[in-house]
Chain A
Amino acid sequence: RKEVEQDPGPFNVPEGATVAFNCTYSNSASQSFFWYRQDCRKEPKLLMSVYSSGNEDGRFTAQLNRASQYISLLIRDSKLSDSATYLCVVNIGQNFVFGPGTRLSVLP
């Protein structure tokens, strides 16, 4: 099993839709979790950290389920500008491992 796995995608959704991504991780000792977004031919940028209690930032909500070892990202009222690849990041010891990413295309 890979250390970090994500929904394969791509997700093609209309503007205004709600979309959710899942990410699973293999190391039960992982403590730090993040979602990054990466635009085409650009570097990844931190979208949000994921806290145990779940957290929300505007239209974005992140959840952590330690028992099942997965994290999720929910995007409400999606915008054209949300089109990107969403990367799940999990610490494995001192290192951070990136998932393969899920590509989202928001269509007009």
Chain B
Amino acid sequence: GAGVSQSPSNKVTEKGKDVELRCDPISGHTALYWYRQRLGQGLEFLIYFQGNSAPDKSGLPSDRFSAERTGESVSTLTIQRTQQEDSAVYLCASSLEVGYGYTFGSGTRLTVV
């Protein structure tokens, strides 16, 4: 596609439920990143995928968070047993490879009630 596509754009879920967020990177982009941005805060790194290398999961805040990516295509971020503090905008970005500037999707706004 022309840009990074994320779905859903908005998600409201009840505390304790699991959610799955999806990211479609720009075709051909080998690097994919997930970030979280709470209201009025900066971007918080979550996880990074580069080609077929093992992902860098160092930013995942707890074991309730996991992410997968199949090859150089779609990635899903899963949050299990959601908590209110998980409410944020989850942003996905992709780049041609590490070292290049990357393009963000418009994000998924998650609200846990």
Contacts and interface: CB of A to CB of B under 8 A. Distances in A.
Interface in B76-110: 91, 98-99, 101-107
Contacts, number: 42
Contacts of B50: 94
A32 B101 CA distance: 9
Contacts of A84: none
B104 A44 contact: yes
B107 A100 contact: no
A53 interface: no
Contacts of B106: 42-43
Interface string B46-60: 001010000010110
Nearest to B47: A95
B42 interface: yes
B107 A95 contact: no
A43 B107 contact: yes
Contacts of A20: none
Interface residues of A, number: 19
Contacts of A42: 106
B43 interface: yes
Interface of B: 33, 35, 42-43, 45, 48, 50, 56, 58-59, 91, 98-99, 101-107
Given A34-B101, A96-B102, 4 more contacts: A32-B98, A43-B91, A94-B50, A99-B42
A48 to B, nearest CB: 8
B105 A43 contact: yes
B13 to A, nearest CB: 20
Contacts of A99: 42
A105 B59 CA distance: 31
B42 A101 contact: yes
